[in-house]
Amino acid sequence: MILPLMLVIIIGLVEVADSFNSYITLLDASRDGARLGSKNLATDDEIKNLIVVETERLRDPVSPIEDVTIAHEVFDGDNVIRVEVCHNRQLLLSVPVVLPETFRMCGTTVMRVLPSAAE
């Protein structure tokens, strides 16, 4: 009688841990991309390639076209770069009626762009 309950708890813990790992991976990739862009060390395409490489450990690949958004904006008079990395995460254990098959996770980082040496 206790075994099914324990299995549900263990599977839930594994699912939460895997989701947290995926979120941390997305957040780290967005932070690294924004850091590279804030120092004017790479183009947007190079930042997207970096993000794709850093998210390779996820089960499903991140598409640089659909899942990575890079925006150059002005906030409070400063130039900033906003990098958003999203991922359609599939659950480890699919329960069709109770849980969705996939859900979208996103990590976003905004950093101030440092002035270049010529300015």
Domain-located, residue 25: yes
Domain-located, residue 118: no
Domain-located, residue 75: yes
Domain count, the chain: 1
Q: 106 near 90, Cβ under 8 Å?
A: no
Domain-located, residue 21: yes
pTM of the model: 0.84
Domain-located, residue 108: yes
Q: What percent of the chain has pLDDT over 90?
A: 55
Domain-located, residue 117: no
DSSP state of 61: P
Kindly report, residue by residue over 59-71, the tens digit of the pLDDT.
888 888 899 999 9
Q: What percent of the chain has pLDDT over 70?
A: 96
pLDDT number for residue 113: 92
pLDDT higher than 60, residue 119: no
Measured in whole angstroms, how far is the alpha carbon of residue 35 from the centre of its chain?
A: 14
